[in-house]
Structure 1
Amino acid sequence: MAAFDYYFSTLSPYAYLAGTRPWEIAARHGAEINCRPLDIMTLFARTGGVPPGQRHPSRQEYRLIEMERQAARLDMMLNLKPAHWPTNAAPSSYAIIAAQAAGGGDMGHLVHSILRACWAEEKNIADDAVIRGCLKGAGFDPALVDSGLLAGAETYAQNLEDAVSVGVFGSPFWVTADGTRFWGQDRLADLDAHLSGQAG
């Protein structure tokens, strides 16, 4: 079975805007997605990026314009300045890592529900109750939020190292088995074409 890595932050508005489309693309190609949540702020520091709040005002302003524009195009609800952002992304990331290892649920639904909780539902995704609700809604055991913390922390850290080593510098980012990279939810059509053998 074909597979590709999906590097993202649970704080990323553009990962939220990607929705469940990565899983729809994977299903079309019989591919498996390896979810690789990571620490986006550390990734920025390691790869020359700048956190949104530290960017020039014109860049901050345009970021909000583009987020609103993309959300409207996709007909998705989006709070440009959510009540609980930024927050600690580690707990939700550990839950995704644990759920992927456990299996038995819908990973696309889980990832999107966590991102939606932050960007559309004004929920704190560092809150265990919020994470449990997302796990349950996606068909996973809510108790995963309390298990595998050490393994989750180790994998979370390794995801960052692996991301840097393969040239990832933002979120969302997809890397196929042949090393081809795609950055941003607006490049999902290119990922789809690549998996179809239509583009490089």
Structure 2
Amino acid sequence: MGFSVGNAFVIAVAILASLAGFGLLVTQLLTISQYQKSKTGNLSASYSPGANDNASGVGVLLALAEAFAQGEVAKQVAFLFTSAEESGLYGARAFCASHENWRHNTFVICLDMVGRGEDLYYVQREGIFKPLYTDQTINQMLLQANPHLKGVWYTLRSGDFAAFCRAGFPTTSLQSGRRGLVDWRYHSVYDTADQIETPALQTVLETIGKLVINY
């Protein structure tokens, strides 16, 4: 699906894989900087390898799909990979528009930058004057699976979770980080694979795994 944004034409893709609802696990497939590289064929100043933002989320979802496929999962789990998040959440918005009926029986958990930091955060709300809140029930389920989770408010940033919240899906989002959640490497040439921390990825895997098994 394509969207016209100013003078640019952005490709918005949503790739869905279902595992035999319970839930929808979402991650951003391409950053806008990666799309620009693939379009121009060279490394411009806007290029980022995208290891943490957001190959980390893609990797975790693929690992979860492999793990769930090897065991008994009582609930249905779907894995969604979106694109064009940086340019306006277009992949997520396109999916919401074409799967409106899913919002009645689907929980959504987004994974965004989960590859660095010793702490795992769940987003409680986005915005200042008209805040957008994530789903308290899912947040409590995550806290039961991992009592060490920390809540965070997004003020000047957003993510795919916002598109699902606005469309009426019970939704939350996970992000790894340190105090302040500041990772200066993202959206830069320094967001490389050697900066990814395996314990951060493992924490996300274990948290979602416990949630799915215990729900």
TM-score interval, smaller chain: under 0.3
TM-score (norm 1): 0.22
More helix by share: 1
More strand by share: 2
TM-score (norm 2): 0.21
Which one has more relative contact order, counting CA pairs under 8 Å at least 6 apart? 1
